[in-house]
Amino acid sequence: MIIYIADPMELLQGQEEKKQVKIQLPSGGYLMAESVDFNRWKVVDICSTDPMDYLAERHYPGSIIGLEDIK
């Protein structure tokens, strides 16, 4: 009997790492985002002490934003 178990390094080699950037918010917090295409970013995380940053309709994890949307 032969048992095949996938090598974890084999699985990781096929994944390409996306570049993440910090986008500064006017309140002093920032958004962690990764590039989707030219001038478009996907929000990955919000880091802020201002509760209004979490309630903003445009800045939620998974949303696609342009740099002109940050105000």
The pair of structure tokens assigned to 6 is 């996938």
Judge contact between 71 and 61, C-beta under 8 A.
no
- Quick: pLDDT tens for 18-64: 788 898 988 999 999 998 888 888 999 999 999 998 888 888 899 99
| Angle of CA points 45, 9, 41, to nearest 5° | 25
Q: Does the residue 27 lie in any domain?
A: yes
User: For residue 10, what pLDDT is reported?
Assistant: 63
Q: Is 60 helix (H, G, I), strand (E, B) or coil?
A: coil
Q: Which residue has the tokens 């006017």?
A: 26
Q: Does the residue 8 lie in any domain?
A: no
User: For residue 68, what pLDDT is reported?
Assistant: 74
User: For residue 43, what pLDDT is reported?
Assistant: 92
pTM of the predicted structure, to 2 decimals: 0.66
User: How many distinct structural domains can be found in the chain?
Assistant: 1
User: For residue 30, what pLDDT is reported?
Assistant: 92
Q: Does the residue 7 lie in any domain?
A: no
Which residue segment(s) compose the domain that 34 sits in?
17-69
38 alpha-carbon distance from chain centroid: 15
